[in-house]
Amino acid sequence: MRYSVLGGGKRVRPLLVYASGELTGVAEETLDPVAAAVELIHAYSLVHDDLPAMDDDDLRRGRPTTHRQFDEATAILAGDALQALAFEVLAADPKLAARPQAQVRMLAWLARAAGPAGMVGGQALDMAAEGRQIDERGLERIHRGKTGALIRASIMMPSELGLLSGDERANLDVFARDIGLVFQIRDDLLAVDQDTATLGKNAGSDSGNEKSTYPSTLGVEGARRRAAETQRHAVDALRTFGGRSDALLWLSEFILNRSS
């Protein structure tokens, strides 16, 4: 578990938690368990995604994948335990316990994002689509599930602790949903554009597994355009927040243009 979580990674989801907290007016230290919980779910998802039965990858975050470093049983169990730990961290935090309603709502966000309507559902669709040509709508559904749902939850969970009007929350959710899709379109593009050493994971994995991706469906230029359009739509939704959204805006640029 330590090897999988503490061995690098960009920590984009925790950063989104803190940036969203800045927008919604939540103290940074209150958000530590929220940031930890989303990263634990993410780390678990990578361990399982790399397993031989799934994407069968040997390299992650510049090091052997967990099942390569240890063995398959260890990787399966480490992933399972990381998932449980994420919920423990959120449910057992004393500061959050002082806000029980918000705490339960955040637990529900995380469970929905990780489960059949979110990440695991998206991963199941992704696996089922291997070797098949899928249209853009189908692909969007996969990406919003496997990657978008947890990114959306990272941004929306802090809003349960802050004070936002209904309209403000709806606008934040537009941003949260779209930037999650941008993240995975960029991930598909990096697998085409970038080398294995820079990515710290196998750049040939998508093509080797015959995955449908945005570049394979829309072409590289089409995928770039779709990512940029979706990012602009996301950013438009934050216009009413003024300077409070600066950190989220910065992260949205990073997500669109990142090189690893």
Residues that bind ligand IPE (CB under 6 A): 9-10, 12, 42, 45-46, 49, 55, 61, 119, 123, 146-147, 184, 187, 201, 205
| Cβ-based nearer residue to ligand IPE, 102 or 203 | 203
User: Binding to Mg ion by residue 49, rule CB under 5 A?
Assistant: yes
Please choose which of Mg ion, ligand IPE, none residue 187 contacts, taking the beta carbon within 5 to 8 angstroms, the exact cut-off set by kind: ligand IPE
Cβ distance to ligand IPE smaller for residue 103 or 184: 184
Give DSSP secondary structure letters for the chain: -HHHHHS----HHHHHHHHHHHHHT--GGGGHHHHHHHHHHHHHHHHHHTSTTTT--SEETTEE-HHHHS-HHHHHHHHHHHHHHHHHHHHT-HHHHTSHHHHHHHHHHHHHHHSTTTHHHHHHHHHHTTTS---HHHHHHHHIIIIIHHHHHHHHGGGGTS---HHHHHHHHHHHHHHHHHHHHHHHHHHHHS-HHHHTS-TTHHHHTT---HHHHHHHHHHHHHHHHHHHHHHHTTGGGGGGGHHHHHHHHHHHH---
CB of 124 to ligand IPE, least distance (A): 11
Residue 143 contact partner, candidates ligand IPE, Mg ion, none, CB within 5 to 8 A by sort of partner = none
Q: Decide which of Mg ion, ligand IPE, none touches 9; Cβ closer than 5 to 8 Å per partner kind.
A: ligand IPE
Min CB(226)–Mg ion separation in Å = 20
Here the tokens at position 211 are: 């995955």
Contacted by 23, from Mg ion, ligand IPE, none: CB < 5 to 8 Å by type: none
Q: How far is the CB of 102 from ligand IPE (least distance, A)?
A: 26
Six-digit token string for 13: 């989801």
Of 31-39, 45-53, 84-92, 131-139, the segment contacting Mg ion by CB under 5 A is 45-53
Tokens of 188: 């598909």
Cα–chain center distance at 35: 12
Report, in Å, the least distance between residue 199 CB and Mg ion. Answer: 11
Stretch that binds Mg ion, among 21-29, 30-38, 50-58, 128-136 (CB under 5 A): 50-58
| Residue with token string 């602009």 | 232
**Closer to ligand IPE by Cβ: residue 87 or 254:** 254
Among 39, 55, 168, 187, binds Mg ion (CB under 5 A): 55
CB of 205 to Mg ion, least distance (A): 6
- The contact set with Mg ion (CB under 5 A) reads 49, 55
